[in-house]
């Protein structure tokens, strides 16, 4: 189920809201939880999200001189993993074009502030541009990036088709698209335990750690309303991508979708 229709309404968790209201609601969620967002990711996944993101960057295979657009990447988890592979070594023994590096795009200024601070703490002063923008209206030129990633962000957009169209627009021919996202269809063996954990434990953790139970109730509900892995693959194909495939992670709790603009 995509949560999209022609009535001008869309899903916000388990609620149906006018499309014009979803982006502000999503932004408010992430503005609220930004200071403790990374801590919650570790607690919710027992640190497994770190392996998922490592797998994403390994599949992406970023190379020196390429330009990466990381959408919904506010706190920099994916960007900071990919950057060392994109930039030349400090001794200048390898060269990269001025266009190399990363654009991190997020709708939340608070999330971007966390990412900037993390980069500074790691001594990273260049190579990453921080951009506050919507995934469906990217202020990025046509065919200008080699790589596009979106991690745990596609289910938060108002129109998935719109975000996918923008992803294809900004990618160069031969560009690689990768989406890492929680999925609604997991191993039957894990389903009952996963449901209890998701609907009872995660919102409670959200209340304790961030003071915002409702934000994490929304995040859990948004996973259940997101398309199944095969359905999302079909949507990516319909957006004009080629060589679309996906790989389940941790029993299907998350999935990596890969596609190319040819």
Spans of all domains in the chain? 23-88+95-261
CATH number belonging to domain 23-88+95-261: 3.40.50.150
Bridge partners (DSSP) of residue 178 are 149, 258
Bridge partners (DSSP) of residue 17 are 10
User: Is the pLDDT score of 43 beyond 90?
Assistant: no
Q: What is the mean pLDDT of residues 221-230?
A: 93
Rounded (5°) CA angle 16-29-1: 35
Element (H, E) at 164: helix 160-170
> What per-residue confidence (pLDDT) applies to 15?
87
**Minimal CA–CA distance to 147: which of 180, 116, 170?**
170
Q: What is the mean pLDDT of residues 123-152?
A: 96
Q: What is the mean pLDDT of residues 234-261?
A: 97
> What per-residue confidence (pLDDT) applies to 89?
66
**Minimal CA–CA distance to 259: which of 178, 173, 154, 181?**
178
> What per-residue confidence (pLDDT) applies to 1?
46
- As a whole number, the mean pLDDT across the chain is 91
> What per-residue confidence (pLDDT) applies to 97?
47
- pLDDT 10s digits, 57-98: 999 999 999 999 999 999 999 999 999 999 876 655 555 445
CA distances from 95 to 60, 64, 70, 147 (A): 21, 8, 23, 19
Percent of the chain with pLDDT over 70: 93
Residue identified by tokens 């993993």 is 81
Q: Of 40 and 53, which is predicted with more confidence?
A: 53
Band of the pLDDT at 4, cuts 50, 70, 90? very low
Q: What is the mean pLDDT of residues 222-238?
A: 95
Please tell me whether the overall predicted TM-score, pTM, comes out greater than 0.85 for this model.
Answer: yes
CB 180 within 8 A of CB 151: yes
3-state secondary structure of 207: helix
- pLDDT 10s digits, 167-205: 999 999 999 999 999 998 888 888 888 888 888 899 899
User: Is the pLDDT score of 14 beyond 60?
Assistant: yes
Phi, psi of 17 (to 5 degrees): -130, 160
User: Is the pLDDT score of 257 beyond 60?
Assistant: yes
User: Is the pLDDT score of 52 beyond 90?
Assistant: yes
Element (H, E) at 113: helix 109-121
Residue 241: count of CB within 10 angstroms of its CB: 23
CB 181 within 8 A of CB 255: yes
> What per-residue confidence (pLDDT) applies to 188?
84
Residue 141: count of CB within 10 angstroms of its CB: 9
């Amino acid at each position: 189920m995509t949560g999209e229709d022609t009535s001008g309404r869309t899903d916000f968790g388990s609620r149906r809201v006018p499309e014009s209201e979803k982006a502000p609601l999503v932004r408010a969620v992430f503005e609220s939880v930004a200071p403790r967002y990374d801590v919650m990711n570790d607690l919710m996944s027992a640190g497994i999200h770190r392996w998922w993101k490592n797998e994403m960057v390994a599949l992406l295979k970023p190379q020196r001189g390429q330009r990466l657009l990381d959408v919904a990447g506010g706190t920099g988890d994916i960007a900071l993993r990919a950057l060392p592979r994109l930039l030349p070594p400090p001794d200048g023994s390898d060269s990269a074009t001025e266009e190399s590096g990363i654009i991190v795009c997020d709708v939340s200024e608070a999330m971007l502030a966390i990412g900037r601070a993390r980069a500074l703490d790691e001594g990273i002063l260049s190579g990453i541009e921080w951009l506050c923008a919507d995934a469906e209206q990217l202020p990025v030129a046509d065919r200008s990036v080699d790589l596009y990633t979106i991690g745990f962000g596609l289910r938060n957009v108002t129109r998935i088709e719109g975000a996918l169209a923008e992803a294809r627009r900004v990618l160069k021919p031969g560009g690689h698209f990768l989406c890492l996202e929680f999925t609604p269809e997991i191993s039957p063996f894990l389903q009952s335990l996963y449901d209890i954990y998701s609907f009872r434990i995660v919102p409670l953790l959200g209340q304790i750690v961030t003071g915002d139970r409702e934000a994490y109730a929304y995040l859990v509900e948004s996973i259940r309303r997101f398309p199944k892995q095969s359905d999302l693959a079909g949507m990516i194909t319909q957006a004009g991508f080629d060589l679309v495939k996906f790989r389940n992670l941790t029993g299907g709790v998350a999935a990596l979708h890969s596609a190319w603009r040819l």
